[in-house]
Structure 1
Amino acid sequence: MSEESAIDVTSAVGSSPLKGVTVLDVTRVVAGPFCSMLLADLGATVIKVEHPDDPDYARTFPPFVSGEDEECSAFFAQFNRNKLGITLNMKTPDGKALLKKLVRRADVLVENFRPGTMEKLGLGYEVLKKENPRLIYTAISGFGRTGPNSSRPAFDNTGQAAGGLWSMNGYPDRPPVRVGTIIGDLSASLYAAIGTLAALRKAERTGEGQVVDISQQDSVLSLTENAVVRYTTKGEIASPLGNDHPFVRPYGQFPCKDGHVFFGGYTDKFWKITCDIFGEPEIASDPEIDTMEKRFAPTIAETKVKPILERWFSKYTKAELEEMAGDRIPLSAIKTIAEVVEDPHIAAREMIVNVPVAGKLVRMFGLPIKLSGAPGSVCRKAPNPGEHNALVYSRLVGLTSEELAKLSQEGTI
């Protein structure tokens, strides 16, 4: 970005890929904060904007960490690390004017209000682009900015329900089950980050900003793998399959001595290696199951292949199976979060990092994007509401201490 628009007010490492990019984050909870967190981890100056009397209510989400003088949400900290924090009431005339001034010095604004909310405030994209034609305006919502459902309120479960994923998850003989994480919020944030970077690339070439319009429903729909083409080509409606795959077998969860493992050695190559590993190479030549196509047959998979695998795996623990077979075939322990956090491989990948929360170091997930030439950085705590008002408003807007004090007394910041 240009020196005029990219104001670096963080301690981002000089080689950080997004150093010099300034992001205004007016989002809350996860669908939005996760997007801007990724940008912050990659070196962008991300400024979290909160209402002075109504900060992000994710600050009240457990678990909490207690320090000498404060108690903070580790949930909030995880999605708002590496950011600066300011307060701003965008409903007041002075607040609107301040946001416009901030936009002039920013490259990106990320919001996750219901479509039309920013327009009602007089701060929609058409208004803000007059302040900064290069502005990337990233908007995350339940159903997107266009279409008959665009004005509907939404949460993560809305995306899972409306995007089709919920209907596919669970077991065949039970009602569908939501995915065990906020995949609607997280996937929308991931696509928002990708879209923002694509729009930034164009702005660098042309000087023109644009709207990045991200829908939770769209995002979840794109995660349904083969469900759409199965329906459009064969008329098949995806339904819950438990731990099974619609057509690939064996490919799923299998019990062992101390839990379960995932085994996916369905190809002829991997099947032969598996038979060798477990000391029964002759099974690979059994005419009932000697080809991948035969093993795909549901009845054969259930009555012939599954009992063989269960007999083999039941003799060993998860760790033993990984040790003897994990390097040669697709076999992985189904690990608890505790096992993942303590996994030496995860440590080697720097995927558990220490982030300050309430004066203590808390382990949380790191940045999964590994760049050889320009690493990201997770180093700074999530901001308190308005913690960086003086820094940001003086550096980016030019306000004096007297002006800041007046705006604070009036409830604008």
Structure 2
Amino acid sequence: MTDSATGHPEMPSRPGPLNGLVVLDITRVVAGPFCSMLLADLGATVIKIENPKDPDYTRTFPPFVGEDRSSAFFAQYNRNKSGITLDMKCERGKALLKKLVKRADVLVENFRPGTMDRLGLGYEVLRAENPRLVYTAISGFGRSGPNSNKPAYDNTGQATGGLWSMNGMPGQAPVRVGTIIGDLAASFYATIGTLAALREAERTGQGRVVDISQQDSVLSLTENAVVRYTCAGEVATPLGNDHPFVRPYGQFPCKDGYVFFGGYTDKFWKITCELFGEPEQASDPEIDTMEKRFELATYERRVRPLLERWFSGYTKAELEEMAGDELPLSAIKSIGEVVEDPHIAARDMIVSVPVGEQLVRMFGLPIKLGGMPQDGFASPPVLGQHNDEVLRRLADLSDEEIRSLKQDGVI
């Protein structure tokens, strides 16, 4: 059967605005799988393609669940996908990928630049099979420039994009951001770029390469650091929990942990002083304006001690309740507290996904589209789980041809 709207043979899909879109995902680890998973969460039919002899090694990453020790880490970035195996190094494997490309809208890869060309499967080759193909390539340094062939990990992006040098406590060695922000940022931009290129392909019938660099992606997350350097010659250094422009705006201790408080404006400062029973502090001539409170010596001598005294008698929850909708004050929550947060639940941001023999709670889809379901997430594919189904429907292979490919180790 063929989907009359897209011209694709019908494949299992989720509801969503990308329903009918076919994505070939030949990525591994996170930078790439997260991009294709976002597309899958939004309704695309994503086919994860793994080498039968060398599958995505995040299948071996903890934590594991069930008797079959399925990886919850792998599931978190590969839910809602179909899965096939394919050895792209052999000639029959190359030919089979080209067949699949003819029926696909998008191919996502995260090899080092030049790898696909050496396999004889670079963009120009695949474009000849399908001119409207959107070819999304994620790498450490991008497809151009003197560093394009260098190997890279998430930490590479954090190091070379400037973010690492800015993070940490003043006067101490810089500290990496405590998550794989280079991989994640690259996946975000890859998703945006893919959707933009798809819009153009719909209009013109011509696809293009979406070239995403981890270094580029991280650089764009450095907020004011670039313009501070280019305009004023200032080099950003670790600020800890401080901010270069405004105070108070950071972390403060309380009875059972820490809170973020950002009441730096005159309006918020006045409300804070009234809330804690000392309204006269708002008109004190030494700290009555935002500019005066920002001056470091004044801040450390007058403002910080006030806040620490005020906050010290209350718990995180009590301070949040006191602040209500009037002040920018939030508890600094552990992951356990976030997972159990009623607001997170109301936003459907913790979802249950089948992994092996049980349901695993993991983060949901942050993109909320009106009327789109936020449940019914499908399990990640077992290695090669959908070989027969995908190859029959998208590559028009017979059962005998599929058996031959399996016997020869192509799939």
Tell me which interval the TM-score lies in, with the shorter structure as reference length.
over 0.9
What residue number does 1:193 align with? 191
Structure-1-length-normalised TM-score: 0.97
Contact 1:22 1:106 in 2 (8 A): yes
Contact 1:326 1:332 in 2 (8 A): no
Structure 1 residue 377 displacement after superposition: 5.0
Secondary structure of the equivalent of 1:250? coil
Structure-2-length-normalised TM-score: 0.98
Structure 1 residue 10 displacement after superposition: 1.8
The match for 2:399 among 395, 398, 401 is: 401
What residue number does 2:54 align with? 54
Closer, same or farther in 2 for the Cα pair 1:152/1:324, shift >3 Å? same
What does residue range 117-136 of structure 1 map to in structure 2 within 5 Å? 117-136=115-134
Q: Distance in 2 between matches of 1:72 and 1:49?
A: 18
Contact 1:17 1:375 in 2 (8 A): no
- Identical residues among aligned pairs (%): 74
Q: In the TM superposition, what whole-angstrom CA distance separates every residue of 1:210-251 from its partner, at most 9, and x where no partner exists?
A: 000000000000000000000000100000011101121000
Closer, same or farther in 2 for the Cα pair 1:5/1:93, shift >3 Å? farther
Secondary structure of the equivalent of 1:47? strand
Q: Distance in 1 between matches of 2:287 and 2:268?
A: 13
What does residue range 160-199 of structure 1 map to in structure 2 within 5 Å? 160-199=158-197
Moved more, 292-301 or 72-81: 292-301
Secondary structure of the equivalent of 2:351? strand
One-letter amino acid matched to 2:322: M
Structure 1 residue 2 displacement after superposition: 7.9
Closer, same or farther in 2 for the Cα pair 1:8/1:35, shift >3 Å? farther
Q: In the TM superposition, what whole-angstrom CA distance separates every residue of 1:287-307 from its partner, at most 9, and x where no partner exists?
A: 011011111111111111000
Structure 1 residue 373 displacement after superposition: 3.9
What residue number does 2:11 align with? 9
The runs of 5 or more residues in structure 2 that have no matched partner are: none
Structure 1 residue 334 displacement after superposition: 0.1
Q: Distance in 2 between matches of 1:82 and 1:304?
A: 54
Secondary structure of the equivalent of 1:86? strand
What residue number does 2:352 align with? 354
What residue number does 2:79 align with? 81
Q: In the TM superposition, what whole-angstrom CA distance separates every residue of 1:331-360 from its partner, at most 9, and x where no partner exists?
A: 000000000000000000000000001110
Contact 2:60 2:71 in 1 (8 A): yes
Secondary structure of the equivalent of 1:370? coil
What does residue range 295-374 of structure 1 map to in structure 2 within 5 Å? 295-374=293-372
Structure 1 residue 124 displacement after superposition: 0.4
One-letter amino acid matched to 2:401: E
Closer, same or farther in 2 for the Cα pair 1:102/1:293, shift >3 Å? same
Structure 1 residue 8 displacement after superposition: 4.3
One-letter amino acid matched to 2:342: P
Contact 1:32 1:112 in 2 (8 A): yes
One-letter amino acid matched to 2:188: L
Structure 1 residue 130 displacement after superposition: 0.6
Secondary structure of the equivalent of 1:191? helix
The runs of 5 or more residues in structure 1 that have no matched partner are: none
Secondary structure of the equivalent of 1:361? strand
Structure 1 residue 374 displacement after superposition: 3.6
Q: Distance in 2 between matches of 1:174 and 1:407?
A: 57
Secondary structure of the equivalent of 2:152? coil
Structure 1 residue 326 displacement after superposition: 3.3
Residue correspondences, number: 409
Q: In the TM superposition, what whole-angstrom CA distance separates every residue of 1:29-76 from its partner, at most 9, and x where no partner exists?
A: 000000000000000000000001100001111111123xx1111000
Q: Distance in 2 between matches of 1:378 and 1:166?
A: 38
Q: Distance in 2 between matches of 1:8 and 1:279?
A: 66
Q: Distance in 1 between matches of 2:340 and 2:6?
A: 45
Q: Distance in 2 between matches of 1:8 and 1:34?
A: 24
Q: Distance in 2 between matches of 1:95 and 1:358?
A: 29
Structure 1 residue 173 displacement after superposition: 2.2
Contact 1:25 1:46 in 2 (8 A): yes
